[in-house]
Amino acid sequence: MRSKTRNNRPTVLRSRRGCTATEVAQRSRGSGERACAGWLRYFAGVGSVAAVRNGIWLGVLSAVCLSACSGAPAEAQKNRTFYDWSTAVSSTNGEFEEAYPPLDLAAAAPMVRYKGVTVLRHGIHLSRPSDWVLRDGDNTPGQAFVQYISPNAYAFAIHERPESVQELWRDVVRRFQDDTRALGAKIVGGAVPVATHLGQGRAYTIEREVEAPKKPLTSHSREYLLRGRTRIVLVQVVHEGEDPSAVDQELLRVINTLEVL
């Protein structure tokens, strides 16, 4: 999903299938899906701000909605609002993702098979669960991103930040924190030093309140601001509830193998 501005006014937010947020809301059924429509309306407003400032939320707009509204994995796959396979981006054409065999890992119960991939114009290598669905992507320099949806009810996205690795790290961190707060989010835990296989940075816990039909919803995300040799990226994991420990084991290999080139 994308948002653009024209004369400082946001255009209608549309998905890759051409549906507006209103149309999505009209198709929703049940209280859970009505809440999803609320998420989409919220991001229709903030998406344009992010596009103007630094693109933090480009590509993860629908993912937050999907994660917040899903139930157990089996139920998620029955819910087309969560798991609409027709809107997924093919990962076989190599436009946003290419295979990177050195990071492949065979399945070992209870873990699924991991697939090594390279994304963001060969700027990022990682090993991801093979059952992730590539939801969206963009290769625009300085705004490149990929977004995945997991059947375990969370979204995973990597965004290229329009920052120079030559800048002082404290300035990069300050801008990220300022941008996050400007979008109405709350940093509830952060600036924790973290290192990946190739890259280092800071980890944050972020909360955002979103209007919904009955009462405001709160999204929770774990976000990693990472620096490599040639680029700075933001990794976002948007999950259900306050405790992401249920998916920690699955994500451990993803973060540990992440290479920011």
Task: Give the chain's domains with CATH numbers.
Answer: 5-260 (3.40.1000.10)
Q: pLDDT tens digits, residue range 71-81?
A: 444 544 444 43
pLDDT over 70 (residue 9): no
pLDDT tier at 82 (50, 70, 90 boundaries)?
very low
* Full 3-state SS string of the chain: CECCEECCEECCCECCCCCEHHHHHHHCCHHHHHHHHHHHHHHHHHHHHHHHHCCCCCCCHHHHHHHHHCCCHHHHHHCCCCCCHHHCCCCCCCCCEEECHHHCECCECCECCEEEEEECCCCEEEEEECCCEEEEEECCCCCCEEEEEECCCEEEEEEECCCCCCCCHHHHHHHHHHHHHHCCCEEEEEEEEEEECEEEEEEEEEEEEECCCCCCEEEEEEEEEEECCCCEEEEEEEECCCCHHHHHHHHHHHHHHCEEC
Report CA dihedral (167, 172, 175, 179) to the nearest 10 degrees.
130
pLDDT tier at 2 (50, 70, 90 boundaries)?
very low
CA distance 243 to 72: 15
pLDDT over 80 (residue 65): no
pLDDT tier at 217 (50, 70, 90 boundaries)?
confident
CA distance 219 to 99: 32
The predicted structure's pLDDT at residue 98: 96
pLDDT tier at 208 (50, 70, 90 boundaries)?
confident
pLDDT tier at 122 (50, 70, 90 boundaries)?
very high
Mean pLDDT over residues 105-109, rounded? 94
Q: What is the mean pLDDT of the chain?
A: 74
pLDDT over 90 (residue 234): yes
Long-range CB contact pairs, 2-9, < 8 A, 24+:
2/47, 2/51, 2/58, 3/43, 3/44, 3/47, 3/48, 3/50, 3/51, 3/58, 3/61, 4/48, 4/51, 5/48, 5/51, 5/52
Choice among 96-100, 181-185, 229-233 with the minimum mean pLDDT: 181-185
Residue with tokens 């259900």: 240
pLDDT over 50 (residue 196): yes
| Contact criterion met (CB below 8 Å) for 221 and 238 | yes
pLDDT over 90 (residue 53): no
The predicted structure's pLDDT at residue 91: 54
pTM, two decimals, is 0.70
pLDDT tier at 13 (50, 70, 90 boundaries)?
very low
**Whole-number percent of the chain with pLDDT over 70:** 64
The predicted structure's pLDDT at residue 90: 53
pLDDT tier at 30 (50, 70, 90 boundaries)?
very low
Q: What is the C-alpha R_g of the chain?
A: 17
pLDDT over 70 (residue 140): yes
Highest mean pLDDT among 36-50, 197-211, 238-252: 197-211
CA distance 63 to 29: 18
Mean pLDDT over residues 127-156, rounded? 94
pLDDT tier at 28 (50, 70, 90 boundaries)?
very low
The predicted structure's pLDDT at residue 92: 54
Which is nearest to 200 in space by CA: 227, 164, 177? 227
